[in-house]
Structure 1
Amino acid sequence: MDKVEHKGLLYEEISKIPHNNPKVRRILSMLLDHFIMCFLTIPLGIIVSVIVFKFELAHTKSIGMILFSIPMFIYMNKDFLMAKSPAKRIMGYQIIDIKTSKPASEFQCFVRNLTIIGWPIEVIVGLINPQRRLGDFLANTKVITSDKEKLKSMWNDLKNIKMKINFIGILILGGLFFYGLSKLL
């Protein structure tokens, strides 16, 4: 009797999507990323909000905005690990630098995701050009097909991450971005 390897329901369902329409697969990847990241960051945002408002800290609004920016920062930087977000791993995509054809840097992924506030426009651009959305033009990147991976591969990449000056700079830029965004709201 042959052994059948079970890779998980999500992996199996995603594998059923026809491979012949890159536009549909790319948009599905964007939507899947959105749902996965919302699933991860919304509970964190709720916990942060409850803590801030429960204790009615002095300067609650300032502290709340700083703390709430943490889940948003995670959402925006979903591609940090090997230039692959959770959905890109499942669907078999990777972000690369156009000039070098190597995986995009953390900074490029950060710049690429700054356009998240115009998400509906990103979907339209993705329909027109599945390899490059608006953020890719800003970051000089594109999305290519790569090997499909299980989500648990992210844990291995996370264990191997090293604190680089690039990462610290992105933390500072991300903080400034959210601070500026909070002043607009």
Structure 2
Amino acid sequence: MTESNTNSDGIIIEEISKINNINPRINRVLSMLLDHFIMCLLIVPLGILIGVLAFQFGQNFNKLTGIGLFSIPMFVYFNKDFLRAKSLAKRLMGYQIIDVKTNKPANELQCFIRNLTIIVWPIEVVVGLINPKRRVGDFIANTKVINSKKEKPKTVWSDLKNVKLKVNFIGIIIIGGFYFYGLSLIFPGMN
């Protein structure tokens, strides 16, 4: 990179480019950690806002409403790879999720399903060290992670503008609803 490119891209992208030259296993786990960090930066404030609203309305909420409110920031997390099967971290580090059978970008439902394994995230990191192409969620969703062209963060906005309603979105809502309801049965204090 020339000095002018470095200045226009920013120090974060420059540092990520340096990281990309290390061991692919470590690089993939760093991508997972960066994904998790970015998503936490997005969903924690959203969760706090929802918590404040829930506190304001107090006892007017029932368990189903609590599950619904809790699921909003988690839906954001589970759909981090929604746009062209690339999260922000994957764009920066040069990765994409593909369908194992077709070798085409994974669809939105596959990306959602592969992220449902957040409840075993430490195991996902260990699996990512062993197999940088596939983690537990990838085996469930029949996907894998491949190297792809690195992209700037602003590509997320242009992709977001081009989103069109698809049948997969209904599947995501239904599976998500069952998932969160199931979690509420496993962890009864989630209301």
TM-score w.r.t. structure 1 length? 0.94
* Contact 1:49-1:64 at 8 Å conserved across structures: no
Quote the Cα distance in structure 2 between the aligned partners of 1:61 and 1:134. Answer: 30
Percent identical pairs in the alignment equals 65
What aligned pairs does 1:144-159 form with structure 2 within 5 A after superposition?
Answer: 144-159=146-161
1:18, CA displacement in angstroms?
Answer: 4.7
Question: Equivalent residue for 2:40?
Answer: 38
Q: RMSD of the TM alignment (CA)?
A: 1.4
What aligned pairs does 1:37-56 form with structure 2 within 5 A after superposition?
Answer: 37-56=39-58
Aligned residues: 184
Quote the Cα distance in structure 2 between the aligned partners of 1:168 and 1:69. Answer: 15
**Segment of structure 1 superposing worse, 95-104 or 173-182:** 173-182
Give the direction of change, closer, same or farther, for the CA distance of 1:184–1:117 in structure 2 (3 Å limit): same
* Contact 2:28-2:132 at 8 Å conserved across structures: yes
Question: Equivalent residue for 1:113?
Answer: 115
* Contact 1:41-1:72 at 8 Å conserved across structures: yes
- Which segments of structure 1 move beyond 2 Å, counting only runs of 4 or more? 59-62
TM-score w.r.t. structure 2 length? 0.91
Secondary structure of the corresponding residue to residue 120 of structure 2: helix
Quote the Cα distance in structure 2 between the aligned partners of 1:116 and 1:156. Answer: 27
Unaligned residue ranges in structure 1 (runs of 5+): none
- What per-residue deviation string (whole Å, max 9, x for no partner) do you get for residues 77-115 of structure 1? 111100001110000000001111100011111111111
1:176, CA displacement in angstroms?
Answer: 1.8
Unaligned residue ranges in structure 2 (runs of 5+): none
User: Does residue 77 of structure 2 align to residue 75 of structure 1?
Assistant: yes
Question: Equivalent residue for 1:182?
Answer: 184
Secondary structure of the corresponding residue to residue 146 of structure 2: strand
Question: Equivalent residue for 2:165?
Answer: 163
* Contact 1:89-1:151 at 8 Å conserved across structures: yes
* Contact 1:27-1:126 at 8 Å conserved across structures: yes
Secondary structure of the corresponding residue to residue 16 of structure 1: helix
Whichever residue aligns with residue 41 of structure 2, its letter is F
Secondary structure of the corresponding residue to residue 56 of structure 1: helix
Quote the Cα distance in structure 1 between the aligned partners of 2:20 and 2:61. Answer: 52
Quote the Cα distance in structure 1 between the aligned partners of 2:20 and 2:51. Answer: 41
Quote the Cα distance in structure 1 between the aligned partners of 2:62 and 2:41. Answer: 25
Give the direction of change, closer, same or farther, for the CA distance of 1:38–1:101 in structure 2 (3 Å limit): same
Quote the Cα distance in structure 1 between the aligned partners of 2:20 and 2:134. Answer: 20
Quote the Cα distance in structure 2 between the aligned partners of 1:65 and 1:144. Answer: 34
Quote the Cα distance in structure 1 between the aligned partners of 2:11 and 2:176. Answer: 35
Question: Equivalent residue for 2:106?
Answer: 104
User: Does residue 142 of structure 2 align to residue 140 of structure 1?
Assistant: yes
**Segment of structure 1 superposing worse, 53-62 or 76-85:** 53-62
Question: Equivalent residue for 1:4?
Answer: 4
* Contact 2:54-2:61 at 8 Å conserved across structures: no
* Contact 2:99-2:143 at 8 Å conserved across structures: yes
Quote the Cα distance in structure 1 between the aligned partners of 2:58 and 2:35. Answer: 34
